[in-house]
Amino acid sequence: MERLHDACGVVGIYAPHGKASLDVRSYITLALTALQHRGQESAGMAVYDDEGQIVYRVGMGKVREVFTDSGTSLPSTYAGIGHVRYSTTGSSCVENAGPFVVGDRAGQYESLAIAHNGDLVNGAMLRNAFPEDSFRSTTDSEVIALMLHHSEGKTFNERLADTLQHLRGSFSLVILAQNKLYATRDPWGMRPLCIGKLGDSWIVASESCALDRTGAEFVRKVEPGELVTIDEDGIHSEMLFELPRHSLCVFEYIYFSDATSRINNRYTYEVREALGRELAHEHPIEADLVVPVPDSSIPAALGYAEASGIPYSQGIIKNRYSDRSFIKPDQRLRQLEVDLKFNFVRTKIEGKRLIIVDDSIVRGNTLKRLASALRNYGAKEIHLRISSPPLRHPCYFGIDIPRDKELIAAGRTVQEVADYMGVDSLGYLSLPGLGRAINAAHIDETVDIDPRQVDDPRALKMLHQEFCYGCMEMQGWPFDPQVESQHGPRRVPVIPRGVLS
């Protein structure tokens, strides 16, 4: 209901000269449209022209609003990157829209373009190493671009490794430089990134749903700490950093990623159904119907209904035009507290004992209004079931989870939260249940895990080894974000004037 937001989505395409006939610009537009759920504030694209110069275009709005021409006003190209953004660092304005391009007017290196999904906990420290007038935006993405432009190393790969060692936080990057396409992830693997094949061409994207939309074949994920280089000779890989524990944001499965995406050998839809089944085992209740809060909670509600044997029903219908401008509700509607995002099916609500399934509770205000609306439609009982553990801590890695005091679950018992929202009962999925459900959805046939046979310590161990869940329990962070926020570069680069293109 109160939707969390990820930082953004990225895509890169490389089509070898003379081997591929696809229009890179149109395919980037198509892939960005598939990633629109990851960012709806701005969109941008950067491509190489015939002379090897980077040309780019960014704008505020959704992909099809910015690229009404599918990007064809940009030069025809063999390589390009794209970006959709939701602001977590920096305000929502066109200056903060990616990709970011730094140029060669100072004569140090040739230009490069970068698109970034994630958030750096030490972004402010890194920014302080540059003269104040070096930036045209307030984003971490531009900090990374400038660091890379002025890093040390004989080769671009050496310069990239020199830059990445200073970054603390989440980053999945696609980069245009030296007429090549580069892709890399942070060593913890907090944000997803995958590789696909389009005939003789290559595509890198935040999620596999972008590959599906473009007709590409899924090849594999980019490993945490891996650097992938794509050029005329194909694809090349090297590991820059390796850590014993990986920390993919667990909310990629719970909410952020498209339901059709494949991440870490699991399909998101299957994980969400498994979350619902586990939730039914942990919090059973007698009721007439299982009803999802659309749309992301539908798979979890189906899983709950399957495991509980209680019929599934879509008693709450999402208004498909809810993102358009509406006339301000009159007083009667305000008193009914009906959210204009939803329509209600009275015959599925009136006199019914309802299990309402949602993926998370942030502040609780919107679910409180929903519960009130359901009461007004005659619901006999409302039992709220949440397919994730309580959110008790802010996120430092690119998700807009607010401060502790704004989170309804921070410092409150489950019963206190239920009383505030006006529901008859409330059940959150447990941390062990989260671990059991995720691992039950593994698509590797050699991994056969019956969630009922996995005890709590083993489930927690599996969760901890692969995911960041610090918003639920602080031990879930891959490192202490407040300590690492003070990590700066060893040297202060001298930035020539006029670097920005």
Q: What is the pLDDT of residues 6-15, one digit of tens each?
A: 568 999 999 9
The C-alpha atoms of residue 249 and residue 274 are separated, in whole angstroms, by: 18
- Out of 8, 194, 249, 471, the active site residue is 8
pLDDT at 492: 37
427-453: b or e for each residue (b if 16 or more CB lie within 10 Å)?
bbbbbbbbbbbbbbbbeeeeeebebee
The 10s digit of each residue's pLDDT in 36-51 is: 999 989 999 999 999 9
Residue 186 has pLDDT above 70, yes or no: yes
Cβ 278 vs Cβ 304: under 8 Å? no
The 10s digit of each residue's pLDDT in 363-392 is: 898 899 999 999 999 999 999 999 999 999
Cβ 35 vs Cβ 18: under 8 Å? no
pLDDT at 105: 45
Share of the chain above pLDDT 70, in %: 88
The C-alpha atoms of residue 452 and residue 459 are separated, in whole angstroms, by: 10
pLDDT at 398: 77
- pLDDT-derived band at 491, boundaries 50, 70, 90: very low
- Residue by residue, DSSP assigns 202-270 as EEEESSHHHHHHHTPEEEEEPPTTEEEEEETTEEEEEES---S---EETHIIIIIS-TT-EETTEEHHH
- pLDDT-derived band at 94, boundaries 50, 70, 90: confident
Which position has the higher pLDDT, 195 or 325? 195
Q: Residue 334 phi/psi, 5° resolution?
A: -65, -40
- Could you count the other beta carbons within 10 Å of the beta carbon of residue 483? 11
pLDDT at 486: 85
Residue 137 has pLDDT above 90, yes or no: no
pLDDT at 238: 96
pLDDT at 339: 57
Strand blocks (E) in 339-466: 342-344, 353-358, 381-386, 425-428
Q: How many helices (H) and strands (E) does the chain have?
A: 15, 23
**For residue 384, which of 425, 332, 422, 340 has the smallest C-alpha distance?**
425
H/E element holding 452?
A: none
Residue 443 has pLDDT above 70, yes or no: yes
Quote the mean pLDDT of the chain.
Answer: 88
Residue 160 has pLDDT above 80, yes or no: yes
- pLDDT-derived band at 410, boundaries 50, 70, 90: very high
The C-alpha atoms of residue 250 and residue 190 are separated, in whole angstroms, by: 9
- pLDDT-derived band at 448, boundaries 50, 70, 90: low
- pLDDT-derived band at 91, boundaries 50, 70, 90: low
Share of the chain above pLDDT 90, in %: 69
pLDDT at 324: 38
Residues near 377 by Cβ (< 8 Å), separated by ≥ 6?
Answer: 344, 346, 349, 350
The C-alpha atoms of residue 36 and residue 83 are separated, in whole angstroms, by: 10
Residues near 294 by Cβ (< 8 Å), separated by ≥ 6?
Answer: 314, 316, 317, 318, 342
The C-alpha atoms of residue 259 and residue 281 are separated, in whole angstroms, by: 23
Local structure of 130: helix, strand or coil? coil
pLDDT at 2: 57
The C-alpha atoms of residue 93 and residue 137 are separated, in whole angstroms, by: 9
Note if 8 is an active site residue.
yes
pLDDT at 230: 98
Residue 58 has pLDDT above 80, yes or no: yes
pLDDT at 24: 97
Give me the helix-helix angle, 365-376 and 414-421, nearest 10°: 50
What would the mean pLDDT of 155-179 be, rounded to a whole number?
94
The C-alpha atoms of residue 431 and residue 467 are separated, in whole angstroms, by: 12
Q: Which amino acid is it at 118?
A: G
The 10s digit of each residue's pLDDT in 216-254 is: 999 999 999 999 999 999 999 999 999 999 999 999 999
Pairing of strands 353-358, 289-292: parallel
Cα Rg, the chain, nearest whole Å: 23
Residue 459 has pLDDT above 90, yes or no: yes
What would the mean pLDDT of 1-27 be, rounded to a whole number?
82
Whole-prediction pTM value?
0.90
pLDDT at 140: 85
